[in-house]
Amino acid sequence: MKTLILGGTVFLGRHLIEAALARGHEVTIFNRGQHGPDLYPDIEKLRGDRSNVLSALRGRRWDAVIDTCGYVPGVVRQSAALLADAVEHYTFISSCSVYANFDLAGTDERSPVSTITTEQLNDAEKIETGERATAITYGEMYGALKALCEQAAEEAMPGRVLSVRAGLIVGSHDYSDRFTYWVHRVAEGGEVLAPGRPGRRVRVIDALDLAEWIIRMAEKRQSGIYNATGAEDGLTFARLLEECRRVSGSDATFIWVSEEFLIEHGVKAWGEMPLWIPEEYNGIFLVNNDRAVAAGLTFRPLSETIKDTLCWDATRPSEREWRAGLKPDRERELIKLALASISSEEQVRG
């Protein structure tokens, strides 16, 4: 299979390249060459900016394309329309964040998606294409934009689009540091601040598993919408941290603090305290992925994901700036406050 990957050198894209090569496919990547330009010297690399310079794609043919970096519908529509007569199948990497609400019983592919106004969409399009250089971000519109991107691809290539609504993707090359923070921090040992209820459900999907499944789906030209999140195996935050401790062999002890404590002390959910969000939104970890499992999505043991992440993390510069997680001084301050609060409560009860 001749496969074109839009993006390809950041996180999931790298795993997609390696999964495709491992299955004997011919791979071409198209990107701006700003991340890892020297990676994969033996594959074809086309350069351009998909928001306005797509000339390198014209006059070429592939069996399938995988879009790893579409964030606004206008850009996705342009790419899909250009490739409509050049490829048989289009995979769009979307997100479980598309959903408007997260029913704790399990949101599925039929659930309503988020929406935004025409004005918000126009702002996002202008930021993406560089027409507006402002401090405005479209992070809060992310889910709605991804849903619109799915629609744009489907309109350009009806019946030939696979939209993968991914859950929390983790593993090596994860630039977000959301999962890596916990693997690294627990391996360091000592007292580790842990957020919310120990029994709170979490789910993660290894980029290796996701990439292998996507390539197999593209081989079969499978279309439609699929949620692709972690295994429905009852994983809790406590068990995730305990497995990090077991795999790393550290002496970490977990200081569990309540959601109220975190909010009271201004701890930022998801970024400063990765994988923690207020309980009312925790349904994002319970999205139903039965359809993907029925289509062959499988999951490696969590211990393997932790080992891979630890090995990769050890190759990074020690002085690097973390994108997520508590700063050491901040964590020590919060632990001190938490322990003092526990001590005071015990004295009152005594």
Least confident of 68-82, 109-123, 129-143, 219-233: 129-143
Q: Which domains does the chain have, with CATH numbers?
A: 1-166 (3.40.50.720)
Q: Note the pLDDT of residue 35.
A: 87
SS3 104: coil
Least confident window among 17-21, 51-55, 149-153 = 51-55
Q: Which residues pair with 224 in a beta bridge?
A: 162
Query: Which residue type sits at 244?
Result: C
Inter-residue contact 96 to 167 (CB < 8 Å): yes
Contacts of 226 (CB under 8 A, 6+ apart): 109, 162, 163, 164, 165, 217, 289, 291, 292, 295, 297
Task: Count the neighbouring beta carbons within 10 Å of the beta carbon of residue 105.
Answer: 9
Q: How many CA atoms lie within 13 A of 162 on its CB side?
A: 28
Predicted local distance difference test score (pLDDT) of residue 50: 87
Give me the pLDDT at residue 324, please: 97
What pLDDT does residue 98 have? 96
What CA–CA distances, in Å, run from 71 to 24, 123, 260? 29, 13, 34
Residue 290 has pLDDT above 70, yes or no: yes
pLDDT value of position 123: 85
Tell me the pLDDT tens digit for each residue of 257-283. Answer: 999 999 999 999 999 999 999 988 899
Burial level of 133, CB count in 10 A (0-12/13-18/19+)? Answer: exposed
What integer pLDDT is reported at residue 350 of this predicted model? 37
DSSP E strands in the chain: the ranges are 2-6, 26-31, 44-47, 64-67, 89-95, 161-166, 169-170, 191-195, 205-206, 224-228, 253-257
Residue length, the chain? 350
Token pair recorded at residue 300:
């490696």
CA distances from 16 to 209, 245, 260 (A): 10, 29, 40
Which pTM was predicted? 0.94
In this predicted model, what pLDDT tens digit does every residue of 214-231 receive, in sequence order?
999 999 999 999 999 999
pLDDT band at 140 (very low <50, low <70, confident <90, very high): confident
